[in-house]
Amino acid sequence: MRIILVEDNPIILRGELELIQRCVPGAELQGFSNPQEALAYAETAQPDTAFLDIDLGKSSGVDLARQLKRKNHSLNIIFCTAYDSFYREAVDLRASGYLLKPVSEDALREELDNLRYPPARKSGGLFVRAFGSFEVFYHNEPLLFHYQKTKELFAYLIDRRGAVVTRDELVTILWGGEEEHNSYFKQIQKDLKDTLASVGQERVLVKQRGALGLRMREIHCDYYEWLAGRPEGINAYRGEYMRQYDWGEPTYASLEGKSMLWIP
């Protein structure tokens, strides 16, 4: 897990760094008093979570959050402030959390246990994030496909939860069933196979004559964990599902309809 902390008071910065380190001893943690240095670091390091003071002297933590989110819309933003008057801005930015100073260890752990976008697991295998924007990770690094349609093909197979899907259905989903895309479909099918094979995960893909599917047991996915009623999956759902794909609307409607079942 990669975390940044931005706080212009050096004493508070040091104390909060120690607190975060106690709560997440294995995290890659960097502290900054200069917002621009934090922004430059985040652009290359791609942290999972950013703890931001709101009052940064001449700068605003809210403005910094907007800049960070433009670079990485799935970054978890947790504001740490002595004021509760910026809560509306935090909601608008879809922040993961809002901590009032002085930050307690219990409150910090609570926020880390309920991140809006839980970071990919480091325990091996694939991690698929279906809640929010669809992403695929391998050993905590994004898995990059050659074509965007390859990523969408994989997303649809995830949505089908192991069902074997025919080529005709996949072409319809991806291009509205237009026959002239048949040759392109062969390319993205090969891209999917080759990309998974490049990280030793070719077993994930199930190939039958004219159809594709996935082995669910080979994949860690927040959506699957939600379906199983596991706390990690339940906490990960914040009212968004594969938001870049319109065909995910029926699953989203189902999630919304059933989400009340998980409320104690």
Domain ranges of the chain: 2-113, 126-262
Asked whether the predicted pLDDT for residue 174 surpasses 50, the reply is: yes
Please, which pLDDT band fits residue 125 given cuts at 50, 70 and 90?
A: low
pLDDT at residue number 123 = 44
Asked whether the predicted pLDDT for residue 258 surpasses 90, the reply is: no
Whether the model clears a pTM of 0.75, i.e. scores above it, the answer is no
Please, which pLDDT band fits residue 229 given cuts at 50, 70 and 90?
A: confident
What are the C-alpha distances in Å from 179 to residues 36, 166, 171, 212, 223?
Answer: 50, 14, 8, 18, 32
Q: What mean pLDDT do residues 246-262 have?
A: 83
pLDDT at residue number 263 = 46
Please, which pLDDT band fits residue 260 given cuts at 50, 70 and 90?
A: low
Residue 1 in contact with residue 27, Cβ under 8 Å?
A: yes
Query: Are 2-113 and 126-262 equal in CATH topology?
Result: no
pLDDT at residue number 178 = 64
pLDDT at residue number 122 = 42
The sheet carrying 76-81 orders its strands as 28-32, 2-6, 49-53, 76-81, 97-100
Q: What mean pLDDT do residues 89-115 have?
A: 86
Residue 49 — φ and ψ, nearest 5°? -140, 140
Asked whether the predicted pLDDT for residue 62 surpasses 50, the reply is: yes
Please, which pLDDT band fits residue 94 given cuts at 50, 70 and 90?
A: confident
Radius of gyration in angstroms for the set of CA atoms belonging to the chain, rounded to a whole number: 20
Peptide bond into 142 cis (omega under 30): no
Q: What mean pLDDT do residues 160-179 have?
A: 88
Q: How far apart are CA 252 and CA 57, in angstroms?
A: 42
Q: What mean pLDDT do residues 4-22 have?
A: 94
Is the pLDDT higher at 236 or at 4?
Answer: 4
pLDDT at residue number 177 = 64
Name the CA dihedral angle for 88, 90, 91, 96, rounded to a multiple of 10 degrees. Answer: -150
pLDDT at residue number 72 = 83
pLDDT at residue number 65 = 93
Give the pLDDT confidence of 180-207 residue by residue, as tens digits: 677 889 999 999 999 999 988 888 999 9
Helices (H), the chain: 10-23, 35-45, 61-71, 87-92, 105-113, 148-159, 167-175, 182-198, 222-227, 231-236, 249-258
Which H helix or E strand runs over 122? none
Residue 113 in contact with residue 235, Cβ under 8 Å?
A: yes
Q: Tell me the CATH class for 2-113.
A: alpha beta
Asked whether the predicted pLDDT for residue 3 surpasses 50, the reply is: yes
Residue 19 in contact with residue 108, Cβ under 8 Å?
A: yes
Is the pLDDT higher at 109 or at 57?
Answer: 109
Q: Which of 46-50, 53-57, 169-173 has the highest mean pLDDT?
A: 169-173
Topology classification of domain 126-262: Arc Repressor Mutant, subunit A (1.10.10)
